[in-house]
Amino acid sequence: MTGVVAQMGALILCGLLWQWLQPHGLAPRITRQVLTTTVYYLFLPALVLNVLWRADLGFHSVGIGLTAALTVVAGMSLGWLLCRTCRASPPVTGAVLLAAAFPNSTYMGLPALESLFGEQGTSIAIQYDLFGCTPLVFTLGVLVAWHYGEGHERPHILRALLTVPPLWAGLAAVALNLAGIPQGDWLNTWLGMLGSAVVPLMLFSLGLSLPTERWHRTAVRPLLGILAIQLFLAPAIAWWLAGRFGLEGTELVGTVLEAAMPSMVLGIVFCDRYGLDSSLYAVAVTLTTALSFFTLPLVHGLLA
């Protein structure tokens, strides 16, 4: 777990250095938009197809998915209360809701749980994200981003779902999984190659999003609220829910650790697309990621 956090920090630093140096005069915002769009339409669908096709599906998947979904809703509700108290602007509110609700359950949760619990941990991380978080990201997350964004046409949810490449990849993967169709070595290698690009490109884009100017003090309170919700309250809520849904042992520990992950990197895509506060979101992801170096071992120790 410590090694995963260190590697993520190094990639974020590379993006920050690129922002400062601007090789060939490329503007950081343009570079980031190109990278995040490529990930959204190509690399992320490949990752979703690869992991869900090979996931271990069972009755416990319902408990993991429900725990993930309800924890996301609870985190977003707490974020909304925070913004009401702070009287935050709409772009800031949208960024806070996304950062407080959705954990980095794949990009950091998957390698973390795999290192702790092996193949079973990988399965838990996949199910937590794809059965709970991902459907809400592309429905509730999109609506929140549009509602608090700046001047974008109201999205049609059904149309939005039909035009989400990761969702189509997930539906295809579930069908192939349930049908028992083998993936094949060549396809497994190819999808794995594409999917492996998601994490470094998104973390590099995160570094490109970090603000270099001095921050106004009004940003401090929302950031502290995001840290409290994502790193402490979310795992506590997930622990209570997982117990109610009958999860125990490694499944319970893995599910709670997924909820304790830092804010998801993919939210930068929605911030860019709908005009939310991308800089605030980027700092929130960076801070939650850095502090998770200490909070994740703490949560794991308490559960153990």
What pLDDT does residue 239 have?
96
CA 140 from chain centre, in angstroms, equals 14
The residue written with tokens 């502090």 in the block is 291
Domain 28-210+219-303 in CATH 3.30.1140? The answer is no
Tell me which amino acid residue 230 is.
Q
Q: pLDDT tens for residues 33-62?
A: 888 788 888 998 898 788 778 877 777 788
Cα gap 191→207, rounded to integer Å: 26
Statement: residue 178 has pLDDT above 70: yes
The answer to whether the CB of 261 falls within 8 A of the CB of 106 is: no
Task: State mean pLDDT over 181-188.
Answer: 89
% the chain with pLDDT above 90:
26
The answer to whether the CB of 55 falls within 8 A of the CB of 177 is: yes
Predicted TM-score (pTM) of this structure: 0.79
Cα gap 81→168, rounded to integer Å: 34
Spell out the domain ranges in the chain: 28-210+219-303
Phi, psi (rounded to 5 degrees) for 275: 75, 35
% the chain with pLDDT above 70:
90
What pLDDT does residue 194 have?
92
The total number of residues shown for the chain amounts to 304
Q: Model confidence at 152, in pLDDT bands (50, 70, 90)?
A: low
Task: Give the residue with greater pLDDT, 207 vs 270.
Answer: 270
What pLDDT does residue 79 have?
93
| Mean pLDDT computed over every residue of the chain | 84
Cα gap 286→206, rounded to integer Å: 8
Q: State how far the alpha carbon of 233 is from the alpha carbons of 72, 143, 203, 213, 224, in Å.
A: 11, 24, 25, 31, 13
Task: State mean pLDDT over 177-206.
Answer: 85
Q: CA angle at residue 294 from 284 to 218, to 5 degrees?
A: 25
Phi-psi region of 24 (alpha: psi -120 to 50; beta: other; left: phi over 0): left
The answer to whether the CB of 124 falls within 8 A of the CB of 255 is: yes
Q: State how far the alpha carbon of 177 is from the alpha carbons of 117, 129, 180, 182, 193, in Å.
A: 22, 17, 5, 8, 20
Q: pLDDT tens for residues 248-277?
A: 899 999 999 999 999 988 788 788 888 888
